[in-house]
Structure 1
Amino acid sequence: MTTTRRAQPILTLCELGDTGIEGLESFSPFCLKAHRALRAAGLQYQRRTSARPDAFKSLNATGQVPVLLVGDEPVADSTRIVARISQLGRSLDAGPTGRERAEAWLWEELADTALNGFLVAARWADARNWPAVRDAYFAEMPALVRAIVPARLRANVVATLVARDVWRAGEDECWRRYEALLDQLEARAPERGWWVGDRLSVADLALFAQLRALRTPLTPWQSSRIDARPTLCAWLDRVDEATRAPAVAIAA
């Protein structure tokens, strides 16, 4: 008796445009997580990009990216996207036990909330980084609009960071907590292999995406603090190597 292998549906990742930074497919860590998950799962996909995330509002009412089209079906939110990718390709679960799977998704939650708060603060609230971030995000905006809109957006984002308790106690306390979290991640990082279990999982992908997004020329001080943690950096490099090649993205 023979079985017929089901053909992979056409996968299209709707996201922001290229960054121009080697090894960083998107400024959005959530889009970056989707890219690396698709590659880790061994799936071919194409990209549909826009400078504005609300260009995909017909696919996601929140106007946020990424959105993964599975055939004609839109899947929004990076957590749901990774779960769907895991069903379509190689499993991204941490291991065979429920305990390992649960721990991997708990790490994903920490990455998407706690670590992401520090990334947003580094890009939008840290005055040392804002000029480079503004130029990277808004370079194509007309000059007159660029003189007004980015500053207003920044004020709104900083207010959100205060409401999230990321920036409420001020800059010094924010970065003290950031370094404390990096110390904890350095102590927990595996000396070999993967974050949870014996295979690359959603825990690796989610933590990698946020830390890789912090490890760029846009946020040099925050990047230097990651570079000061050798075990964490070695693990980041392993995840990067495992999910960068082969490059299967096809320009849409």
Structure 2
Amino acid sequence: MLTLLTYPSAFGLFSASPFCVKTAYMLQRSGQAWQRSDMLDPRKMPHQKLPVLRTPERLVPDSDLIRDWLEQQGIDFDQGLTDMQKAQSRALIRMAEEHLYFQIVLDRWDNDEVWPILRDTFFTEIPALIRKPVSNSIRKSVLKGLDAQGIRRFTLAERLERVERDLEAISAYLWQSPYLLGDHPTSADMSVGPMLAAMRATPADTSLTRRIKQDNLLSSYVDRMEKAFPLT
């Protein structure tokens, strides 16, 4: 049986990580027998990140590489799509994973209302006596990375405007069909859906959570994805 090494459930989601949710969706869609195994410290993993898929032969890191491995087993996540739609799918995935994702991370890690909840959710394996200084050090490292990536250099208004353009692009697809590229979920949905779900689930009343919760089109889409791929 395949084993998905994933961050634990959090904020009402299968995992706090949208990449772990994406991989769980792909596993559900593949029809392969699989189980989850939760961990909080991925430093011994191949890329020191999660998700990782344990197969009978090896550990497969990274959601994209896991997709490649599953496709080598015969599953086609984009069955029925034209070459143009597959190109659109690739662009949607990159928009979600290389832009929206960092907006979510910043919304969680740089928000003093959210941070205490994150600390008590993600760092439970650290002894209580040293949890605060250790987690604060990790927080500083994450925020430094967001500075280097560039997203933290924008004002809140600038960031929200950038997010809005992405959400408008996603909405333009969803006005046409229940899923991004048709009547059934494809690889684009398995990336975009978890990103929007994570944005909505951040455990505080932020501009991003409100934006998704108050948008019936996007919020209904998230619900539809969760119903299409029920996870435990």
TM-score, normalised on structure 1? 0.82
> What is the DSSP-based 3-state SS (H/G/I as helix, E as strand, rest coil) of the residue aligned with 2:76?
coil
d(CA) in 2 for partners of 1:172, 1:139:
34
Q: In the alignment, which residue of structure 2 is the partner of 1:75?
A: 60
1:171-213 Cα shifts (integer Å, max 9, x gaps): 3432343344333433432453320144311100000111111
Which of 210, 222, 229 is equivalent to 1:236?
222
Distance 2:101 2:68 in 1: 19
Name which one, 1 or 2, has greater alpha-carbon Rg. Answer: 1
Q: Do residues 47 (structure 1) and 33 (structure 2) align? A: no
Q: Which runs of 4+ in 1 moved over 6 A?
A: none
Q: Which runs of 5+ in 1 are unaligned?
A: 1-9, 248-252
Report the alpha carbon displacement of residue 90 of structure 1 after superposing the two structures with TM: 4.2
Kept in 1, the 8 Å contact 2:173–2:181? The answer is no
How many matched pairs?
A: 231
For residues 177 and 142 of structure 1, what CA distance do their matches in structure 2 show? 39
Using the alignment, how far apart are the partners of 1:91 and 1:220 within structure 2?
38
Separation (CA, whole Å) in 2 of partners of 1:152 and 1:73: 33
Shift of 1:124: 0.6
2 CA distance for matches of 1:176 and 1:210?
A: 17
Once the two structures are TM-superposed, the CA of residue 114 in structure 1 deviates from its matched residue by 0.5
Q: How does 1:83-232 map to 2 (within 5 A)?
A: 83-88=68-73, 90-93=75-78, 95-190=80-175, 192-221=177-206, 222-232=208-218
1:217 Cα shift? Answer: 4.8
Kept after mapping to 1: 8 A contact 2:177/2:183: no
In 2, Cα distance between equivalents of 1:31 and 1:149: 24
CA RMSD of aligned residues (A): 2.1
C-alpha distance in structure 2 between counterparts of 1:127 and 1:243, whole Å: 33
Deviation track 1:44-81 (CA, whole Å, cap 9, x = no partner) reads: 202222221124x2xx1x21111112212222111121
Identity %: 29
Equivalent position of 1:12 in the other structure: 3
Q: For the Cα contact (< 8 Å) 2:108–2:202, is it kept in 1?
A: no
Contact 2:4 2:35 in 1 (8 A): yes
Equivalent residue, structure 2, for 1:3: none
Q: Which residue of 2 aligns with 1:250?
A: none
User: SS of the counterpart of 1:112?
Assistant: helix
Matches of 2:224 and 2:176, distance apart in 1: 11
Deviation at 1:169, TM superposition (A): 2.2
Q: Cα distance 1:73–1:39, how it changes in 2: closer, same or farther (>3 A)?
A: same
Residues 195, 204 of structure 1: 8 Å contact kept? yes
Amino acid at match of 1:50: M
SS in structure 2 at match of 1:27:
coil
More displaced, 44-53 or 188-197? 188-197
- Mapped to 2, the partners of 1:39 and 1:190 lie a distance apart of 26
Go from structure 1 to structure 2 and tell me whether the alpha carbon gap of 1:41 and 1:167 turns closer, same or farther (over 3 Å shift).
same
Preserved contact between residue 94 and residue 101 of structure 1 (Cα < 8 Å): no
**Structure (1 or 2) with the greater helix fraction:** 2
Q: TM-score, normalised by structure 2?
A: 0.89
**In 1: Cα distance, 2:125 partner to 2:59 partner:** 28
Q: What secondary structure sits across from 1:104 in the alignment?
A: helix
Amino acid at match of 1:133: L
Equivalent position SS for 1:75: strand
